[in-house]
Chains A and B, each alone.
Chain A
Amino acid sequence: MQYQAIVIGTSAGGLNALKIVFSSLHENFSIPILVVQHISSHSDNYITKFFNNLCMLNVKEADEKEKIEPGNIYFAPPNFHMMVEEDKSISLSVDKKVNFSRPSIDVLFETAVYAYCPALIGIILTGANNDGAKGLKLINDNGGLTIAQNPKTAETRTMPQEAINISKTNNILDLEEIGKFLNKIDKDQKKILKNLN
């Protein structure tokens, strides 16, 4: 399997968790990453600034109709849902909140399934509600790879626990392992591509 995209969802405790995952990704990591971090609708772009300073990849707030390209990490803007189009571009929407959230993890995961599955990796990290659980199940049901942060070591355990219960994912990892796991996948699939050429 050549994975084409990674989607990540998190809420409470997410900034610290993402920091650990992102800072461990190697500099030519090429699978594009789309992130929903629950956040106040009034916040500015400090998140992207914060992550750009500590990781090798280009971190940005998603723009509407933006093409999803390798080497980038896209964050859903505050107060917008982020969706993936089947032509691998990003759409934004101000639709109703889903699971009391906008951006909602389920909305991103659901639309990413249609655009990428089975070549999709879905990850749920620390958080305090059940947004993303259905989405992770959908990725699992459609042949994608799913990962949940180990609830025992998560800052807030509800979200990964719900995701595990509903999606039945087998990949339950500590934060430190997730970055390594992704690096290995990226490296392995580059090797395969190289051999094919």
Chain B
Amino acid sequence: MNQENINENINIEIKLLLEAIFTKYGYDFRNYSKAHIKRRILHRVSASNLNSISEIQHKVLYDKDFFEIILRDLSINVTEMFRDPSFYKHLREEVVPILKTYPYIKIWHAGCSTGEEVYSMAILLKEEGIYDRTQIYATDFNKLVLQAAKEGIYPINKIKEFTYNYQKAGGVNSFSDHYTAKYDSVILNKSLKKNIVFAEHNLVTDNVFAEVNVVICRNVLIYFDKKLQNRVFNLFEESLIQGGYLCLGSKESLSFSNNFNKYTIISDKEKIYKKKLGI
């Protein structure tokens, strides 16, 4: 069989696998970036010593534990504290002063993965003196990463990078004030978790659950196709109060979406947008 036929068959098998996952478990990856899905699935074929993608399909349908492995393969679990420090600096300098004018602040962190960026936000708000009147909703579709996020324990070898980011992000204290080191881990201070609710929410299939001042969703939309991106942008627009802020990842943009005219740009580089009044 020639290479072109093999590739065609791989693509058919992936399509069928994604249909099977959606029909059986309700997780919808059909509008994800195809290159991303293909890479992950082919890696699973070789990592689990399987002969074909169709074998994955069979195992996924009959073996719930194997499905959990695939779910982990397909989700994006790489993040760090204060990822893109200049974003957090900008947030601190340009957005926080406005947030301070509200008596009560609600923030939705969509696709929070293992929680590093949620705690970064909590630290920032704490240092700015408004954490006590903030409620953070941190959501992800993957139970396993949410569990890790709730724990707030990270490997100690990451601390150097986290500390560097924290300082670059305009941190006003010493980063070590916010955690305790124990053996090979750092445990974030309990007080940071006080106003965070971790919950399952799937951007692809679930709906609005709260009205919030800020939506943070960084490096999630890059995995979605245009159609799915627009669905999610609608979801964010419905969730934001007038004058609320939408924060995206450094390579994501609202510019080409249907929702663009509903926002003003606060920072093009940091991808911070403000929902217009009267919308």
Given A93-B76, A93-B223, does the pair A64, B36 have CB atoms closer than 8 Å?
no
With a CB–CB cut-off of 8 A, which chain B residues contact A96? 78
Q: List CB contacts (< 8 Å) of B209-235 with chain A.
A: 219, 222-223, 226
B133 contacts chain A at the CB level, 8 A cutoff: no
Q: What total of chain A residues lie within 8 Å of the partner, measured CB to CB?
A: 25
* Contact, CB under 8 Å: B35 / A83: yes
Least distance between B71 CB and chain A CB atoms (Å): 15
Task: Give the chain B neighbours of A143 by CB distance below 8 A.
Answer: 3
Contact of B219 (CB < 8 Å), options: A65, A86, A94: A94
The verdict on A92 contacting chain B, using a C-beta distance below 8 Å, is yes
Is the CB–CB distance between B34 and A93 below 8 Å? Answer: no
Instruction: List residues of B (54-99) whose CB comes within 8 Å of A's CBs.
Output: 76, 78-79
Given contacts A91-B222, A92-B222, contact A83 B39 (CB under 8 A): yes
Identify A94's interface contact among B39, B78, B168, B226, CB under 8 A. B78
Per-position 1/0 for B119-163, Cβ under 8 A of A = 000000000000000000000000000000000000000000000
Interface string of A132-158 (1 = CB under 8 A from B): 000000000011000000000000000
Q: Is the CB of A86 within 8 A of B78?
A: no
Can you name the residue of chain A whose Cβ is closest to the Cβ of B225?
A: A65
Q: B207 interface residue, CB < 8 Å from A?
A: no
Interface residues of B in 239-269 (CB under 8 A from A): 249-253
Map CB proximity to B onto A70-109 as digits: 1 under 8 Å, 0 otherwise.
Answer: 0000000100100111100001111110000000000100
Interface mask (B1-27 → A, CB under 8 Å = 1, otherwise 0): 001000100010000000000000000
Does the CB pair A142–B78 fall under 8 Å? no
Chain B residues near A125 (CB-CB < 8 A)? none
Which of B7, B79, B222 lies in contact with A93, CB distance below 8 A? Answer: B222
B33 with A83: CB separation less than 8 A: yes
CB-defined interface of B26-47 with A at 8 Å, one 1/0 digit per residue? 0000000111101100000000
Which residues on A sit within 8 Å (CB–CB) of B38? 111, 114
| A159 interface residue (CB < 8 Å to B) | no
List the B side residues contacting A110 at CB < 8 Å.
Answer: 39
User: Could you tell me if A77 and B251 are in contact, using CB atoms closer than 8 angstroms?
Assistant: yes
Q: Count of B residues near A, CB < 8 Å?
A: 22
- A174 contacts partner chain B, Cβ-Cβ < 8 Å: no
Report the minimal beta-carbon distance from B170 to chain A, rounded to whole angstroms: 15
Q: Choose among B7, B34, B79, B251 the residue that contacts A92 (Cβ–Cβ < 8 A).
A: B251
- Report whether A142 and B3 are in contact in the complex, using a CB–CB cutoff of 8 Å: yes
In the complex, are the beta carbons of B3 and A117 less than 8 A apart?
A: yes
Judge whether A69 is part of the interface by a CB distance below 8 angstroms: no
Q: How far is the CA of A114 from the CA of B3 in the complex (A)?
A: 9
Residue pairs across A and B with Cβ atoms less than 8 A apart, 27 shown, are A63-B251, A64-B253, A77-B251, A83-B33, A83-B35, A83-B36, A83-B39, A85-B33, A86-B11, A91-B35, A91-B36, A91-B222, A91-B223, A93-B33, A93-B36, A93-B76, A93-B223, A94-B76, A94-B79, A94-B222, A95-B36, A95-B78, A107-B39, A111-B38, A114-B7, A114-B38, A143-B3
Where the two chains meet, the residues of B that have a C-beta atom closer than 8 Å to any C-beta of A are 3, 7, 11, 33-36, 38-39, 76, 78-79, 168, 219, 222-223, 226, 249-253
Q: Given contact pairs A93-B222, A96-B78, A111-B35, enumerate 19 new A-B contacts (beta carbons under 8 Å).
A: A64-B222, A64-B253, A77-B251, A80-B251, A83-B36, A84-B35, A85-B34, A86-B11, A86-B35, A91-B223, A92-B251, A93-B76, A93-B223, A94-B79, A94-B219, A95-B76, A110-B39, A114-B35, A142-B3
